[in-house]
């Protein structure tokens, strides 16, 4: 009896068993994370909708903090598991290196202690749904908000109140129309945009360049058409 089985198929069988175990482990993390992620977004929406109802705001903020703590704990557990398993790179696999368009990446730490300034010459007024076209009332509200930001440092703006919706947002989390618009404006080399809360529903979008504390304003978004809530 010839028991000399093909070595390539034997290796494939071993690899398949290993991958089955790893995928089962990963699926467990995904199943745990998915409902926590949904709950987190629910409480974010409740915070935005609370308005003057302080009791609802405090309750939603407290619940969101608890959920976020659980998510952080799950993330730590996942990282530990991945570190123990080590990278699984197939033989003869050579990943394609992504070459950044920017020569120098932005570092927030270099401007976080400085107060903001605003640049308007890059605004995009032609974008559908989120073009920079505020009416008179919206414009007055936006200017008032920007003036209040100028009394604080960038670090205070982003981290003093984490519920204030002022933060960096990865490009991958934007809607397809927003990403397409960035490409048309030759701004698709940006890793992330900055989102500033003007009021309950309106967001102002912009971007930093190099080490400058000035924010280049880009879009006025009164209806949440830039951020992809399903990302």
Backbone angles phi, psi at 9, to 5 degrees: -75, -30
pLDDT at 26: 78
Please tell me what DSSP assigns to residue 227.
Answer: B
Region of poorest pLDDT, from 12-21, 86-95, 141-150: 86-95
Convert the pLDDT of each residue in 6-48 to its tens digit.
777 777 777 877 777 777 777 888 888 888 888 888 888 888 8
Judge whether 69 and 162 are in contact, CB under 8 Å: no
Cα 91 to Cα 4, 12, 19, 88, 95: the distances in Å are: 23, 12, 14, 9, 11
| Confidence band, pLDDT 50/70/90 cuts, at residue 87 | very low
| Confidence band, pLDDT 50/70/90 cuts, at residue 144 | very high
Backbone angles phi, psi at 170, to 5 degrees: -65, 145
- Identify each DSSP E strand in the chain by its residue range: 117-119, 167-170, 192-197, 203-207, 214-221
Judge whether 43 and 67 are in contact, CB under 8 Å: yes
Q: Comparing 85 with 197, which gets the higher pLDDT? A: 197
Domain coordinates in residue numbering, the chain: 7-85, 108-221
State the chain's mean pLDDT as an integer: 81
């Amino acid at each position: 009896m010839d028991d000399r089985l093909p070595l390539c198929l034997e290796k494939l069988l071993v690899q398949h068993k290993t991958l089955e175990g790893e995928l089962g482990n990963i699926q467990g993390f995904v199943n745990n994370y998915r409902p926590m992620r949904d709950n987190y977004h629910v409480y974010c929406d409740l915070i935005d909708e609370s308005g003057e109802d302080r009791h609802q705001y405090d309750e939603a903020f407290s619940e969101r903090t608890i959920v976020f703590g659980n998510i952080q704990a799950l993330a730590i557990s996942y990282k530990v598991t991945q570190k123990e398993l080590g990278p699984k790179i197939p033989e003869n696999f050579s990943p394609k290196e992504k070459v950044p368009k920017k020569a120098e990446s932005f570092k927030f730490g270099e401007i976080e202690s400085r107060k903001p300034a605003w640049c308007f010459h890059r605004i995009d007024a032609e974008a559908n749904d989120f073009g920079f076209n505020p009416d008179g009332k919206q414009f007055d509200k936006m200017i008032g908000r920007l003036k209040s930001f100028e009394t604080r440092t960038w670090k205070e703006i982003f981290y003093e109140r984490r519920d204030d919706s002022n933060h960096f947002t990865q490009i991958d989390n934007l809607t397809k129309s927003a990403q397409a618009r960035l490409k048309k404006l030759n701004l698709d080399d940006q890793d992330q945009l900055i989102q500033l809360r003007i009021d309950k529903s309106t967001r102002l979008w912009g971007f930093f360049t190099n080490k400058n504390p000035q924010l280049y304003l880009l879009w006025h978004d009164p209806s949440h058409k830039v951020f992809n809530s399903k990302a």
